[in-house]
């Protein structure tokens, strides 16, 4: 018997892409599609399946983010294989997802090549797209270096991550612009980055954005 699969994504094009990839897998049979958290939960209640391929962030009427969705699915369907398809760029959330015993974490950028690998390796170690593996590596390194920063430097990075400029941060914290600039430069040196883009990458990797 083919493996029964439910797929879920709120973007029709992505859903079409997932469907196209899975139709090339002769051992699989798509038995349902969902476009929101509510429709997915209703579908899983009505339609038994062995594999769920789902987006992480879909519309929801209640207070349920992507992590809570996977937690709920895992709680009610402990034996179901779950492959998450996402544009996720937060290493902290990525690490939390992997603790929920998912079978794979696939970047939407590598859907065509990586989704079949995640499905075929679902009984082994969780499969991760190379870009997500790199994100976790950067996140681990950034978290380690984050411990070298002072509390005020971390505070400045958090505000930079929220979109504030040096001048706005100075006003917000009642410090001089020179002080904020010095703290930013010091943090960049400790993190080993020398560009604004590199700094923002580390800010995101540390979960400060």
Q: Which residue has the tokens 């800010």?
A: 203
Mean pLDDT for 80-84 is 95
The mean pLDDT of the chain is 87
* pLDDT tens for each residue of 6-45: 999 999 999 999 999 998 888 899 999 999 999 999 999 9
Across 48-57, 74-83, 173-182, 196-205, least confident range: 196-205
* pLDDT tens for each residue of 87-126: 877 776 787 888 889 999 999 988 999 999 999 887 678 8
Beta bridge partners of 106: 85
Mean pLDDT for 190-205 is 82
pLDDT above 70 covers a percentage of the chain that reads: 91
pLDDT higher at 94 or 209: 94
- Joined together, the tokens standing for residue 179 give 């002080």
Residue 64: what pLDDT? 67
Mean pLDDT for 127-141 is 78
| CATH class of the structural domain 3-131 | alpha beta
Say whether 90 sits in a helix, a strand or coil.
coil
DSSP secondary structure, 38-49, as one string? HHHHHHHHHS--
pTM, two decimal places:
0.69
Residue 125: what pLDDT? 82
Q: Which residue has the tokens 């883009």?
A: 197
For the cut 80, the answer to whether the pLDDT of residue 158 exceeds it is: yes
Q: For domain 148-205, give the CATH number.
A: 1.10.10.10
Q: Please list the helix, strand and coil fractions of the chain in percent, rounded to the nearest 5, in that order.
A: 55, 15, 30
The residues spanned by each domain of the chain are 3-131, 148-205
Cα four-point dihedral sign 157, 163, 168, 173: negative
Give the Cα separation of 155 and 161 in Å (integer): 10
């Amino acid at each position: 018997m083919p493996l029964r699969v439910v797929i879920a994504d709120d973007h029709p094009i992505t859903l079409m892409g997932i469907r196209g990839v899975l139709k090339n897998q002769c051992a699989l049979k798509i038995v349902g599609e969902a476009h929101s958290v509510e429709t997915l939960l209703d579908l899983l209640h009505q339609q038994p399946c062995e594999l769920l391929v789902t987006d992480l962030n879909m519309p929801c009427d209640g207070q349920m983010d992507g992590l809570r969705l996977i937690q709920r699915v895992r709680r009610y369907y402990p034996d179901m294989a779950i492959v998450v398809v996402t544009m996720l760029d937060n290493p902290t959330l990525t690490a939390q997802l992997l603790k929920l015993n998912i079978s794979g974490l696939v970047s939407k950028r590598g859907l065509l090549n990586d989704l079949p690998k995640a499905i075929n390796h679902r009984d082994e170690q969780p499969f991760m797209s190379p870009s997500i593996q790199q994100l976790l590596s950067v996140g681990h390194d950034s978290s380690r270096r984050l411990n070298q920063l002072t509390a005020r430097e971390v505070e400045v990075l958090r505000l930079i991550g929220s979109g504030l400029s040096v001048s706005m941060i100075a006003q917000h914290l009642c410090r001089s612009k020179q002080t904020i600039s010095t703290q930013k430069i010091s943090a960049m040196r400790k993190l080993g980055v020398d560009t604004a883009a590199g700094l923002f990458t580390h800010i995101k990797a540390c979960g400060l954005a």
